Amino acid sequence: MEAKSTHKYIGTSPRKMRLVVDLIRGKSVDHAVEILHFSPKHSSKDAEKVLRSAISNLMNKDEGTKHEVADLFVKEAFVNGGPTLKRISPAPMGRAYRIRKRSNHITIVVATKK
């Protein structure tokens, strides 16, 4: 059994978020939560929030069966780029430089070991 959780329009760039998500892909859930909780990266807070949501979704999906946290692992974890906000910064000699404020969408799938 598996459950999915997504968080859209996170205000960090996808490149920075992928550095964090690559650390937990394929790991057991309890180990992945520890990695994200003690990571110094700012993006790890959002990734931990999505991981905890995926765990909760799996627990609530089938209330008849009891799932142990030790039997869960991160099946999939990926980051897609979101919309980019375009801003203008003044530049010398009347020019303007474009600032691109990127966002991302994160998806984490948690499954039970068979």
Q: Please give the tally of structural domains in the chain.
A: 1
- Give the CATH number of the domain where residue 47 resides: 3.90.470.10
Q: What pLDDT sits at residue 32? A: 96
Tell me the three state secondary structure of residue 7.
strand
Query: Which residues does the chain have with pLDDT short of 50?
Result: none
Angle at 24 between CA 19 and CA 26, to 5 degrees: 130
Residue 96 φ then ψ, to 5°: -140, 135
63 is in which domain, residue-wise? 2-112
